Copies of this chain bind each other. A is one copy, B any other.
Amino acid sequence: MKELRAKLNDIAKRRGIFWNSYDIYGGVGGFYDYGPVGSLMKKNLLDIWLEEFVYKDGLFLIDAPAIGPEIVYRASGHLEKFTDYMVRCKSCGHAFRTDELIKDYVEFPDALSPEEIEKVIREHGIVCPDCGGALGEVEEFHLMFSTRIGLDKIGFLRPETAQGIFVNFPTLYRINREKLPMGVAQIGRGYRNEISPRQGVIRQREFQMAEIELFVDPEDKFNEDMIEDYSLPLLTMNGENIKISAKEAYKSGLVNGYILYYMVKIMKFMERIGVDTSKVRFRQHHREELAHYSKDTWDCEVLISRGWVEVLGISYRGAYDLEHHMRYSGVDMRAFRKFKEPKKVRRSRVIPRMEILGPMFKGNAMKIAQQMEEIEIEGEKKELKIEVNGKTYEVPPEAYDVVDEEVTLSGERFIPHVVEPSFGIDRILYSILEHSFYEREDSGYKVLRIKPEIAAIKAGVFPLMAKEGMDSKAREIMKILRERGINAYYDESGSIGRRYARADEIGVPFCITVDYQTLKDSTVTIRERDSTEQKRISITDLPDTLDSLIKGKLEFSEI
């Protein structure tokens, strides 16, 4: 399996799929460049993602900055909890994540305290993997990249694009005319300052994410019709590997309905983009593994040369994020749920006295007043504690009045729950590469069996020989294809066999050859990558035929 990786990495660097960034300066761990071939594959992959998950479902797409102010990540819990433990080697000074070091000895390495980790290291005599030296004490290491905004405001690079969606919930909910469920998607880079990333494109410090936050009313009845009858490969929290129909999994209560909806969509997506679905499973997190914000998480794992690797996760984040941002910002992050019948209730309402609050709290007075209005007073008036922007303000009793009133309520406000499918695009792309790699039995030539939709370049156009007008004809055809939006290239160098082999290596699905017959009857040969079969077709029909082949509307055998 290591050999497969070596072969793939060789093609990746040599042919422009990806390579370690800044290699003229010796490279920097955890950073990768996508080359001319890889960047287009990624673009095609993201466009299909948008089509399947955003456009078809009518979700919102937003685009927020990667840099965020400290308060956002204090509220989200990342500032406090988004850390790894590490140890440094006492002789060579290299640093290592402890979970990587001890993962062969304990089941949930992430769940241990520093003392427990040190105990495992001691008991198993674990030493530095690089030099065999003794390891030092366990230290905490923060995974967010920090920076400074302007002169002195602390900022962080987002570890997930999700927070850029959560902080905008009130605005988005209003734009959606206060309707739920509301799905909001975002595509963008995520950043995690890993200690010592050593797994190629699988573990990057700057990576491509595509995330969806689906805001739902937890009291709404889930519409069972959303779930198709599709057989899902699950690995449950109890370690059971099962194949179960999505409908069954819903009825038995094993998996949340929205999570199941996405599981089915994801399986179909994987099929469309060319991940081998027999090597895909959904693994439920154990309680000990769950991220600080999650109530239930199912990872979608793909089997590659490094074993089962998480390529995306579906988390039930509940009300966690909105609740926290509401508390830290003092802004109402709730949605409104209408009662079937209006309700009459008696209540004691707080009426803020702005003439006192204004001078007392200045710029924060409005936010404080808004929160005070939500409070119900029972018994005596007393000092109120109000949290705004992460600070607690003490409001004296004279700063408000209390009225006792009967009101008719048409509904109530509540914090929506969130279901989050979060995709690691680099890992999905890498899975496609591994699953599509093979060597021809006869020649040993390497081929990437990439789906035409994902392939960076759709067609190579070759003159049989670069003379007698075959070259200019081939260039002309290339231009026609490009004008039609079909990414084509021209190649006249080496034998036709070599040119086919070069095309196969980066997954070009179709090669067009201009030969002597072309000059007579305006037909060309079109050769399919995997079958290596060839057909003859008129130049006039070529753009339409290729377009249909790429979009999967036509099989090569039907030409």
Contact = CB atoms under 8 A, between A and B. Distances in A.
Interface in A60-90: 60-69, 71-72
A25 interface: yes
A80 B477 CA distance: 49
A149 B28 contact: yes
B33 A60 contact: no
Interface stretch (A191-199, A236-244, A415-423, A526-534): A191-199
A549 B22 CA distance: 45
A193 B40 CA distance: 30
A71 B25 CA distance: 8
Contact of A171 (B19, B38, B71): B19
A153 interface: yes
Contacts of A445: none
Nearest to A176: B36
A196 B150 CA distance: 7
Contact of A33 (B34, B58, B62, B151): B62
A171 B328 CA distance: 48
A175 interface: yes
A493 B145 CA distance: 46
B35 A175 contact: yes
A56 interface: yes
Contact of A24 (B65, B66, B145, B167): B167
A195 B164 contact: no
Interface string A13-51: 111100101111110111111111011101100000011
Interface stretch (A217-225, A303-311, A481-489): A481-489
A231 interface: no
Given A24-B167, A36-B60, A171-B13, A67 B31 contact: yes
Given A32-B65, A39-B63, A389-B26, A145 B148 contact: yes
B65 A21 contact: yes
Contacts of A65: 21, 31-33, 205-206
Interface string A138-177: 0001000111111101010100000010011011100101
A283 interface: no
A95 interface: yes
A325 interface: yes
B145 A147 contact: yes
Contacts of A24: 167, 170, 325, 329, 331, 333
A189 interface: yes
A55 interface: yes
A66 B66 contact: yes
Contacts of A193: 148-150
Given A25-B72, A25-B389, A196-B150, A171 B35 contact: yes
Contacts of A21: 64-65, 68, 164, 167
Given A13-B171, A25-B167, A148 B146 contact: yes
B157 A55 contact: no
A22 B145 contact: no
Contacts of A150: 29, 95, 193-196
A170 to B, nearest CB: 7
A40 to B, nearest CB: 6
Contact of A177 (B33, B145, B329, B493): B493
A63 B51 contact: no
A13 B175 CA distance: 9
Contacts of A168: 33, 35
A98 B470 CA distance: 62
Interface in A476-525: 482-483, 485, 487, 489, 493
Contacts of A206: 65-67
A485 B51 contact: yes
A167 B329 contact: no
Contacts of A95: 150-151
A22 B163 CA distance: 10
Given A147-B146, A148-B146, A55 B485 contact: yes
13 contacts: A13-B171, A24-B325, A28-B69, A30-B149, A35-B171, A35-B172, A38-B63, A39-B62, A43-B50, A56-B482, A67-B157, A147-B157, A149-B193
Given A21-B68, A141-B151, 7 more contacts: A22-B167, A24-B325, A35-B60, A66-B189, A67-B157, A150-B194, A150-B196
